Structure 1
């Protein structure tokens, strides 16, 4: 069997292994094996094929993988749904206690309770939304 065919088989095996592990490492090694297979198909000697594999592997693992993992781990740029309400300012429409209360957050009325269950927030006070639990805003009075 010719060397370039062996490189292609190695690339296929590494590609399938990457699909199972999702680490990005094996996929980059598969690309390096593919590059070595192309060099072998062009008729270059095995030493050149190994050199291309080594260079492509190092380039992939040292340069490409850190950039790719950084992009994958970034949080979404836009918060949506209830997550977008956390940190916003609200106005209490009724007295807010641990049992009941209503606030207006950006034009919408929400049920509310104080984040600290021991405090009572009077009607008309400005509060910060610290969390959303279900359909209830957990709020804390502004200083």
Structure 2
């Protein structure tokens, strides 16, 4: 049977266990935080195997963990972020459409752009835009296009 004394003299095994614990915590939380400490523990285990002093092991554990956390976490979050639903609606900004239902002042109307009808508001909220007016999409607010009359105006 293995006693506590055996573990105290085998820091490489302890570091591997620490890495496994951090790996399990990461698998449960998926917060992209503890995985980097898992990497630090693996490095500490490697230097423990070659006989480095305990202080060096702890120093490398913290240094490697913090460096991994600081430099690679933002990259991993960007690549793995599936919570953000991307749409192509932003591609409509700058495109030309036509008012199909008059956009009244401080109200909404309808604009047809790329063959689809969209609810739209005027960039200048006090402006009324008549039906069949050519408009340019300036931004998107929620599900509404924010438009203004194009330079050449009517169809």
Band the TM-score falls in, shorter-chain normalisation: 0.5 to 0.7
RMSD of equivalent CA atoms: 3.5
Partner of 1:106: 114
Partner of 2:14: 6
Greater share of residues in strand: 2
- 1:1-143 equivalences under 5 Å are 1=7, 2-19=10-27, 20=29, 22-24=31-33, 26-40=34-48, 42=49, 44-47=50-53, 51=56, 54-55=59-60, 57-62=62-67, 65-70=70-75, 72-73=77-78, 79-98=86-105, 99=107, 101-122=109-130, 123-134=132-143, 136-142=144-150
Q: Could you give the per-residue CA deviations for residues 58-107 of structure 1, whole angstroms, max 9, x where no partner exists?
A: 2442256324314524899xx52444434533222343215553312122
TM-score (normalizing by structure 1) = 0.65
Which runs of 5 or more structure 1 residues have no equivalent in the other structure? Answer: none
Asked whether the equivalents of residues 32 and 54 of structure 1 are also in contact (C-alpha less than 8 Å), the reply is no
Q: Call closer, same or farther: CA 1:52–1:12 in 2, change over 3 Å.
A: same
Q: Call closer, same or farther: CA 1:23–1:132 in 2, change over 3 Å.
A: same
Aligned residues between the structures: 136
